[in-house]
Amino acid sequence: MTEHFDPKDYTGTGVEGGVANGVVPNSDALYTSAIVEEQPEMLAGPKPAFPQLLLQAGIKGRVMVQAVIDTTGHIENNSIKILSSPNPGFNPGVIDALRRSVFRPARVHGRAVRVLIQLPYDFNASTH
């Protein structure tokens, strides 16, 4: 009995004994920065302004933000999340700066992929 090979059928048992479930890797898959081969790199982006009121009050610190960089090197708007912030007054400037930033996309096997990143934005006396 001859078995017919179907190149579109991704199910079955491999030579190494692995079993495929028929799921084709999705180009919309989201990677973490820990598993990509080439890390994303910020190419251009404004520095968020130090809010005048917070500067006068002597409030400083680091805002940690999380976001998804798409395959074109831009931030996916709905993905932005503030993880920690010394004061909510810093957040709008950080979000605006991140939205206007451009990155070299992360890559896996030479192909641009979506990646979840975390970035720090520091606000101290030398950042205004």
Tell me which amino acid residue 94 is: V
Q: What is the mean pLDDT of residues 6-32?
A: 60
Residue 68 in any domain: the answer is yes
Classify residue 1: in a domain, yes or no. Answer: no
Output the CA angle 102-38-104, nearest 5 degrees: 15
Burial 101-110 (b: 16+ CB within 10 A, else e): bebebbbeee
Average pLDDT, integer, range 62-90: 96
Q: What is the pLDDT of residue 53?
A: 93
User: What's the pLDDT score for residue 23?
Assistant: 46
Total tally of structural domains belonging to the chain: 1
Residue 51 — pLDDT band, cuts 50, 70, 90? very high
Asked if the structure places residue 15 within a domain, the reply is: no
Residue 52 lies in a domain: yes
pLDDT of residue 32: 86
Owning domain of residue 35: 26-127
Task: Tell me the CATH number at 119.
Answer: 3.30.2420.10
**Is residue 127 pLDDT above 80, yes or no?**
no
3 state SS of 57: helix
Asked if the structure places residue 4 within a domain, the reply is no
Q: Is residue 89 part of a domain?
A: yes
